[in-house]
Amino acid sequence: MKDAAKYLKVSISTLRRWEKKGLITPMRTAGNRRRYTVRQLDDMLGLNTQKELGAVARRGLVIGYCRVSSSGQKADLERQAEVVANYCEKQGYQFRIIKDIGSGMNYKKKGLQELLRLVCEGGCSKIVVNYKDRLVRFGYELIETVCEEHNVDIEIINQTDDISYEEELTEDVL
């Protein structure tokens, strides 16, 4: 962070604030250290206003969304996050992972609320999920419509066969 802040001629706290607002997203090492690409930093150098910074965020930030139904599945959540992160890295995306624990029928999960806020405020350009049902169990079309209205693509890594409403409900109940 120190080198990136020096390169940008801003303070470390400014860099952290930009990250919190989603204006720049570092890659994280295994030790959770931030790493920035020269391109990211150069993009930031050419910008003078918050409005322009927001345009960079909208143009490039990808959100990887990962969800499991219960806290007993935390290991699966970590595997899912790893799959999504690896996929985003291979695609060359500037990305951030949002993790959630809760039912796919619960729309008040903290991570999902944050994701929708980012979509509506123009804070991302794409959502990547491992499976369609990891985003929401029911109501995917509504989320898809909101994303379309805000020019946000949804990319599903692993497509599965569509099953009927009744079969999906039975799986959820079980």
Question: Could you give the residue numbers annotated as active site?
Answer: 69
For residue 17, the one-letter residue type is R
Say how many residues make up the chain: 174
CB under 8 A, 24+ apart: contacts of 78-81:
80/130, 80/134
Are 104 and 172 in contact, with CB atoms under 8 Å apart?
Answer: yes
108 Cβ contact list (under 8 Å, min separation 6): none
Mutual angle of helices 38-45 and 50-60, in 10-degree steps: 150
Angstrom distance (rounded) from CA 95 to CA 78 = 16
